[in-house]
Structure 1
Amino acid sequence: MSADPVPGIAEFRSGLQAWLGEHDLTPGPDHSLDGQVAQLLRVRKALFDADWMRYGWPTAAGGLGGPAALRAVLGEEVATRDLAEPGIWSLIEVLAPTMIDYARPDLAAEMVPRLLSGAELWCQGFSEPESGSDLASLTTRAIPRGADWVVSGQKVWTSLAQYAARCVLLTRTAPGHRGITAFFVDMDSPGITVRPLQTMHGVDEFAEVFFDDVLVPSDRMLGTPGDGWQLAMDLLPFERSTCFWHRIAYLFTRLDQVLAETDSTDSAEDPALGEVFTMLHTTRCRSLLTQRRLAAGARLGPETSIDKVLLATAEQRLFDTARDVLPGAIELDDDRWRTEFLYSRAATIYGGTAEIQRNIIARRLLDLGKESA
């Protein structure tokens, strides 16, 4: 495939669809987390080698240029074909932009292609046992030692940490929001211990990570001391735009599968299915607006909390409806429907709880003020 010129969105989609039709990237029979990660890396490598994975990323970081919308199209095609689990696929949309925006240019140029090509996985060390939604209260500390830094503390709910070669890590270097500093840490550094956590849906996707006097070179700092809070805020446009677009595309495929399994039953006429479609369509329309604002150079802010509430609500309604119209599929069968139903229970928790998001909407968008004492 030619790297020049950069194709338009319609040309990119049609070319990608044709290429995927000629190259079989169908997942194998192993649906465990190990199997999902192996499939993810396989798909990324194939798409990178064929250049599809490189569009939408800057040339200075190993990309081929073009708008970020090309990455949204790629993720949508991957999701609708069920080639890779959408949650772990979309991590790249949070981690790669962070490196491009905050790392030294030479470090980004060296590292980002490793992530895009599937040579490595990275993780995001933000949440802590006592600071989940209240990220500003994190306590993992980085102390200068000569030209380096020594990191001690604990992170939790760190996705795929047991597979990751690197970690984008937030630490405390001084009090307050301006005392949060980010580092790019090698996960094989002495003093790092990773303990996978099994969630109620039976997958060890998350882990707790312990840092015991971990030496981090000063040239692995992302930005300057105190830039960590702004880095975390800058993640939101990507987490709640391209990542959400991928997730919505995937949820539409699951709705299609519900409809396929109810074709021969009275449940196919259940109005709840229409309600789910309406909710997903509404969420996609909202996500499209967010993507367009981002593409136009707008700085996204608290309004993305609306996207988060809509997506979490639609996801839970989808799997609630699947439970109702596919009798026994979740309660009696130990299959994918059960796993995804259980995982959907966390949709209103991860990435910012529904309660926090609604408070943001009320206070920062509707100007309803703070709660009374």
Structure 2
Amino acid sequence: MDLPVFRAALDDWLDEHDAELRGEHAAGGSLDDHMDQLSHVKRTAYDAGWMRWGWPEHVGGLGGSSLLRAYLGEALTSRDLVEPGIYSMTEVLVPTMIDYASPELAALMVPRMLRGDETWCQGFSEPDAGSNLASLACRAVRSDDGWRVTGQKVWTSLAQYAQRCVLLVRTGTTESAHRGITALFVDMDTPGITVRPIETMHGAPEFCEVFFDDVVVPFDRMLGDEGQGWAAAMDLLPFERSTALWHRAAYLHRRLELLLDAAPAGSLDPARVGEVTQLLYAFRLRSRATQYRMASGGQLGAETSIDKVLLATVEQAVFDLAEDALADQIVLGDDDAAERWRSEFLYSRAATIYGGSAEIQRNIIARRLLDLGSDR
């Protein structure tokens, strides 16, 4: 199915099923509501076939260009049917599962994620590793019954809801820290795993600490070979910093439209509105180019750090504009609309941190794209 036909058919289906898709957990409530709504929308869209387009047939997809699933994410977020951050986990984690898992494991697990029957999380960051992912210390050692994992992860999004975790562990002691890392696909109900949610300043426990105490992971749950974890991470991170951001662009576009409608007369400087709009369209243009490059078979790499910097810039610009125009609502309002604007403004402060901080992204751009040398 080509994109124009898909777009028209999907839009008709979404119009027809709007009330059914909104269900009882409309977007804008608690994190629990967001997660229930996400599962409901994904399941409904999967059973109707829409969530399967753009994914390979050998993992339960219907084939077709990745642009099809990009438009699905755009449509769902712009209609406020799903929250873009949690929806994006599919785009972040599933491509690497397809690339690195055994065909049997991918065929078993991917449909569960696409249908919303499962949530997965990403166990990368550690409290003592800082921005140097290669210095991670969570360790796995071989035993007769599989890998035995001990260590800690932090800032693990949605871990309290997750059935599985894409986990980076240290399995080697070679001179190269990168070659001593292995990627595992861990069942979160395995004995020895403790999850502790962390409440952020916007009031939602989106992140977690996760502790692993002699957790057994079967050998057939490796993603790739032993010592190939760094390659798996480098495969995953560009998706986190690029394709997963396309539907966030649609969400920001919609929020800017709503802000312009809600702002009191005279509360917005037209010149500033123009600057924010320019930033938004610059990001969307860049993100669109990334989507088309991937759809044509191009590899994603360090250049996706540009996408992430642009996203962080425009997200904060949109909600800075909202803070100025709707200051009374954001600070003092107590209705649902005010609470949402307030929560979104607070969350936007993290845009230059989540998915790799702005400083990290600019270092990547400087070193790997502009060849400006090390920052040391």
TM-score under structure 2 length normalisation = 0.94
Q: For 1:161-180, list aligned pairs within 5 A.
A: 161-175=159-173, 176-180=177-181
- 1:20 aligned to 2:14? yes
TM superposition shift of 1:49: 0.4
Identity, % of aligned positions:
62
User: 1:3 — aligned with what?
Assistant: none
Helix, strand or coil for the counterpart of 1:14? helix
- 1:202 aligned to 2:206? no
Q: Distance in 2 between matches of 1:153 and 1:223?
A: 21
User: 1:136 — aligned with what?
Assistant: 134
Q: Distance in 2 between matches of 1:311 and 1:122?
A: 23
User: 1:276 — aligned with what?
Assistant: 276
Q: Distance in 1 between matches of 2:241 and 2:23?
A: 27
TM superposition shift of 1:140: 0.4
Q: Distance in 1 between matches of 2:54 and 2:238?
A: 15
User: 1:294 — aligned with what?
Assistant: 294
In terms of mean alpha carbon deviation, does 287-296 or 144-153 score higher? 287-296
CA offset digits 1:46-101 (Å, max 9, x no partner): 00000000001111101110111111000000010010100000100111112111
User: 2:353 — aligned with what?
Assistant: 349
Q: What amino acid does structure 2 have at the position aligned with 1:101?
A: D
- Deviating above 6 A after TM superposition, structure 1's stretches of 4 or more consecutive aligned residues are none
User: 1:339 — aligned with what?
Assistant: 343
User: 1:217 — aligned with what?
Assistant: 218
Q: What amino acid does structure 2 have at the position aligned with 1:22?
A: E
Q: Is the 8 A contact 1:27 1:83 kept in 2?
A: no
Helix, strand or coil for the counterpart of 1:212? strand
TM superposition shift of 1:287: 0.8
In terms of mean alpha carbon deviation, does 344-353 or 123-132 score higher? 123-132
TM superposition shift of 1:132: 4.0
Aligned-residue CA RMSD (Å): 1.3
Q: Distance in 2 between matches of 1:366 and 1:107?
A: 39
In terms of mean alpha carbon deviation, does 299-308 or 85-94 score higher? 299-308
Helix, strand or coil for the counterpart of 1:213? strand
Helix, strand or coil for the counterpart of 2:328? coil
Q: Is the 8 A contact 2:242 2:290 kept in 1?
A: yes
Q: For 1:110-149, list aligned pairs within 5 A.
A: 110-149=108-147
- 1:314 aligned to 2:314? yes
TM superposition shift of 1:272: 1.5
User: 1:182 — aligned with what?
Assistant: 183
Q: Is the 8 A contact 2:249 2:283 kept in 1?
A: yes
TM superposition shift of 1:358: 1.2
> Unaligned stretches of 5+ in structure 2?
none
Aligned partner of 1:106 among 89, 104, 107: 104
TM superposition shift of 1:332: 1.6
Q: Distance in 1 between matches of 2:146 and 2:52?
A: 33
Q: Distance in 1 between matches of 2:235 and 2:353?
A: 20
Aligned CA distance change for structure 1 residues 370 and 242 (closer, same or farther; 3 Å): closer
In terms of mean alpha carbon deviation, does 219-228 or 289-298 score higher? 289-298
Q: Is the 8 A contact 1:123 1:159 kept in 2?
A: yes
Q: Distance in 1 between matches of 2:184 and 2:221?
A: 6
Aligned partner of 1:95 among 82, 93, 96: 93
Q: Distance in 2 between matches of 1:27 and 1:357?
A: 38
Aligned partner of 2:73 among 69, 72, 75: 75
Q: Distance in 2 between matches of 1:53 and 1:226?
A: 33
User: 1:44 — aligned with what?
Assistant: 42
CA offset digits 1:228-278 (Å, max 9, x no partner): 11111111332233211111010001001100102x511255321111111
In terms of mean alpha carbon deviation, does 23-32 or 314-323 score higher? 23-32
Aligned CA distance change for structure 1 residues 102 and 29 (closer, same or farther; 3 Å): closer
- 1:328 aligned to 2:336? no
Helix, strand or coil for the counterpart of 2:61? coil
Q: Distance in 2 between matches of 1:282 and 1:183?
A: 37
Alignment size in residue pairs: 365
> Unaligned stretches of 5+ in structure 1?
1-6
Q: Distance in 2 between matches of 1:153 and 1:353?
A: 24
TM-score under structure 1 length normalisation = 0.95
Aligned partner of 1:56 among 54, 57, 66: 54
Q: Distance in 2 between matches of 1:352 and 1:96?
A: 19
Aligned CA distance change for structure 1 residues 29 and 228 (closer, same or farther; 3 Å): closer
